[in-house]
Chains A and B, each alone.
Chain A
Amino acid sequence: MNLNEIMVSETSGETVEETRVAPIENPVLKLMRKDRMPHIWCPGCGIGTAVNCLSRALDSSGLDLDKVSIVSGIGCSGRVAGYMDLDSFHTTHGRAIPFATGLLLSNPELKVIVFSGDGDLFAIGGNHFLHAARRNQDMLVVCVNNYTYGMTGGQVAPTTPLKSTQSTMPYGNFEEPLNLPQLAEAAGATYVARWTVFHVRQLVKAIKEGLEHKGFAFIEILSPCPTLYLRRNKLGDGVDQVRYFKEHSVLKNGAETREVALKAACPISVGKFVERQAPCWTDVRNAQLSAALGERFASSGGKHGGN
């Protein structure tokens, strides 16, 4: 913490800017790898805001951060793992969830977060999402949905709205996008929420709930991709999209997920749609094997190194 960092903060009527010393550094930076700042995300990219929320949620969660691991896939959202000062894993495209499964099953003390993008989690990674949700694996999956594949230059994704243009749908997307909360609930997720990067306070709360939730928790975060999605579709800057989120979001806690699909010129349903308690995969497994084997059952928790 460099207390002597000079920061510009005030301006008087004569547009004279004053520099002041902040008493502390930005508290959000506590969980970031400062030696890797600044990050690569574009001006107005919502991923930074989502990470801001994640950082503040973790900071106030009371969790032992040494035991929190973050796993991401490939893409702009996938870069999050590289910036968080946690045990972090930047894996292959679409496969963050099975990696996270192996990680959490190998060490029950770990709290595992998967943080990735819509294409990574639902196109190439769709099958893995399906089965981890079905199994109610004890992990939090955060999906930053910017309706595109940003890192590779803005191709159509399974979440791209109808009629919008992306580089591989140059004449307008004609594929129906997925309704992610509905898919998550149908697959078996036991906590499902959607917010946007406008909802910075609600997101911190939702992430904390997701972290505390025992079982498969899924949070969709709608986010602008100014450089590719917004620019190609002439939707303005990141701030314009976030303002749109603010003006068109409607709080619908407990809504039926089949009714929260994102449709043009319709309100955006946000809120916590699903929250139910069901034993996670590990607990069911242990109970079943214990019942079948009695005293012969040796639980999976073990010494490290696999003996």
Chain B
Amino acid sequence: MVDDSANVRVGKGTVFVKAEICKGCAYCIEFCPADCLRFSRNYNAKGYHYPVLARPELCVGCNTCGQFCPDFAIFGMRYKDIDALKAERDEPASRSGDEAQGGKS
């Protein structure tokens, strides 16, 4: 069976986090309207826990997290907009694990 978990989309949007610059302030987690972010159990080189999308199915890509973040470490996007961007650039989608953007849901 093909493990297509990398290509499966569950919510309407997703977030991108630069773990290394996050300072663990928790604004995004606190104010996410869908309450879908949590702190990772991991931490970055500075010792801060960073957010991860714990309940990806609830994320709608509203970018409230990105509007709060004082460090510009997180932002959200709707899959609709991600797809539109990719279509504009006409990128051939790579299917290898770590680099793949999630495929069509």
Contact = CB atoms under 8 A, between A and B. Distances in A.
Interface of A: 4-12, 15, 17-24, 26-29, 32, 37-39, 41-49, 51-53, 56, 197-198, 200-201, 204, 237-239, 242-243, 246
B16 A20 contact: yes
B69 A52 contact: yes
A20 B71 CA distance: 20
Contacts of B71: 38-39, 41, 48
B55 to A, nearest CB: 9
Interface string B92-105: 00000011111000
Interface in B49-79: 50, 52-54, 56, 64, 66-75, 77
B50 A8 contact: yes
A199 B98 CA distance: 36
B85 A24 contact: yes
Given A44-B25, A243-B30, A23 B101 contact: yes
A201 B25 CA distance: 19
A9 B16 contact: yes
A53 B67 contact: yes
Interface of B: 5-6, 14-19, 21, 23-27, 30-31, 38, 40-42, 48, 50, 52-54, 56, 64, 66-75, 77, 82, 85-86, 98-102
A22 to B, nearest CB: 4
Closest 6 CB pairs of A and B: A48-B70, A43-B23, A44-B25, A22-B16, A200-B67, A7-B16
A103 B53 CA distance: 46
11 contacts: A9-B15, A10-B52, A11-B54, A20-B100, A20-B101, A26-B72, A29-B72, A48-B69, A56-B67, A200-B64, A238-B27
Contacts of B16: 7, 9, 20, 22, 26
B72 A7 contact: no
Contact of A37 (B26, B69, B72): B72
Contact of A8 (B27, B30, B40, B82): B40
Contact of B40 (A17, A23, A29): A17
Given A10-B53, A11-B52, A23-B85, A49 B30 contact: no
Contacts of A10: 14, 52-53, 56
Contacts of A12: 5
Contacts of A38: 21, 71
A232 to B, nearest CB: 18
A18 B26 CA distance: 20
Contacts of B17: 7-9
A45 B53 contact: no
A26 B72 CA distance: 7
Nearest to B94: A21
A51 to B, nearest CB: 8
